Structure 1
Amino acid sequence: MQEYKLTPQEEDAYVEQQFRDLLDGYLASNHRKKVEIIERAFRFAKEAHKGVRRRSGEPYIIHPIAVAKIASQEIGLGSTSICAALLHDVVEDTEYTVEDIEQHFGRKIARIVEGLTKISGGIFGDKASAQAENFRKLLLTMSEDIRVVLIKMADRLHNMRTLG
């Protein structure tokens, strides 16, 4: 693994550029342009994950941005999914709750984040022995909103792409 070396200023510029790439891809799509809520979700997630790093040494917020890029640019999902992807680890990894997400971003985004949190273990996790119950949960979640599964797939895809 190569060593991660950026000054705090370079790191902030890198994070902002990654987010700008996400927004540019979204703005080039045919979706309605709901930039304000996407920017709010990014700032919220960035603050929630402040100081947290990935194994590579890069700021954790790079992962949710990458998941949002996959959801938006490779799968073709819109602003609601982009926000949920940016926020997908906030409830699981910080003190924030689904209720906090709902208060700041509305019911639809909060329900998708909640669905992502529910299936974070399950068939996508390490406990394959509990697969039947987790598959049941996955099917229930899918019946509520298929975007949960698509964003979870984007999450796993980014993790696989960055295994090295």
Structure 2
Amino acid sequence: MMRQYELVERVRAYDPEVDEDRLNRAYVFTVQMHGTQKRASGDPYFSHPVEVAGLMTELKMDEDTIITALLHDTVEDTLTSIEDIENRFGPEVARLVDGVTKLSKIEAQTEDERAAENLRKFLLAISDDIRVLLVKLADRLHNMRTLHF
């Protein structure tokens, strides 16, 4: 799993103006919020959003997208609200996290509802902000890479 300083260094390598404090706060926040949650592999749950953020650094995504990747499961899997995210990390990150969360909710529907809603949400995500879709795709990629557990 990528350590906090490694994530910051990766981003700083392509964005020397990055707000390191903000990235550090997001990393610590996801670790704290996911607490003792575990993945099927037994790894701490927070390793997943950290790895998704790492995938975003490979694409040289902006600071808000990296933070969104770190926080993408906090609203869905912890007691964190979109308002908490907005207060701590700003309206742009809150909007992006909300978009990823809404895409995740598609999975809890019947097959027909899911297909129609999936297409609708996909089109909305693309028209609103492609970064939402990129974080969701990285989320799925990391989940697929760890399916053997």
TM-score, scaled relative to structure 2? 0.90
Corresponding position of 1:3: none
Q: Does 1:55 align with 2:60?
A: no
Identity across the alignment (%):
42
- In angstroms, what is the RMSD of aligned CA positions? 1.8
Query: SS at the partner of 1:28?
Result: helix
Q: Please report how far the alpha carbon of residue 144 of structure 1 lies from its aligned counterpart in structure 2 after TM superposition.
A: 1.5
Aligned length: 147
Residue 98 of structure 1 deviates from its aligned partner by 0.5
Aligned residue identity for 1:129? D
Unaligned stretches of 5+ residues in structure 1: 1-14
Which amino acid is 1:140 matched to?
A: L
Q: In the aligned structure 1, how far is the partner of 2:146 from the partner of 2:36?
A: 20
Cα shift at 1:127: 4.8
Residue 11 of structure 2 contacts residue 60 of structure 2 at CA under 8 Å; is this kept in 1? Answer: no
Task: Please point out which of 14, 19, 29 is paired with 1:34.
Answer: 19
The question of 1:147 aligning with 2:149 is answered no
Report the counterpart of residue 90 of structure 1 in structure 2. 74
Name the structure 2 match of 1:121: 105
For the residues of structure 1 that align with 2:147 and 2:20, how far apart are their CA atoms? 31
Deviates more, 1:154-163 or 1:132-141: 132-141
Identify the structure with the greater helix proportion: 2
Aligned counterpart, 1:162: 146
With over 3 angstroms needed to count, the CA separation of the structure-2 counterparts of 1:137 and 1:38, relative to structure 1, is same
Q: Cα distance, 1:128 vs. partner?
A: 3.8
Letter in 1 for 2:19: K
Q: Deviations over 1:80-129 (max 9, x none)?
A: 0110000000000011110110011100000000000000032x677542
How far the C-alpha of 1:61 sits from its partner, in A, is 0.8
- State the TM-score, normalized to the length of structure 1: 0.82
Q: Is the 8 A contact 2:64 2:92 kept in 1?
A: yes
C-alpha contact 1:65 1:85 (8 A) present in aligned 2: yes
- Conserved in 2, the CA contact under 8 Å of 1:31 and 1:78? no
Q: Where in structure 1 do 4 or more consecutive aligned residues deviate above 4 Å? A: 124-127
1:112 pairs with 2:92: no
Q: Structure 2 counterpart of 1:32, which letter?
A: E
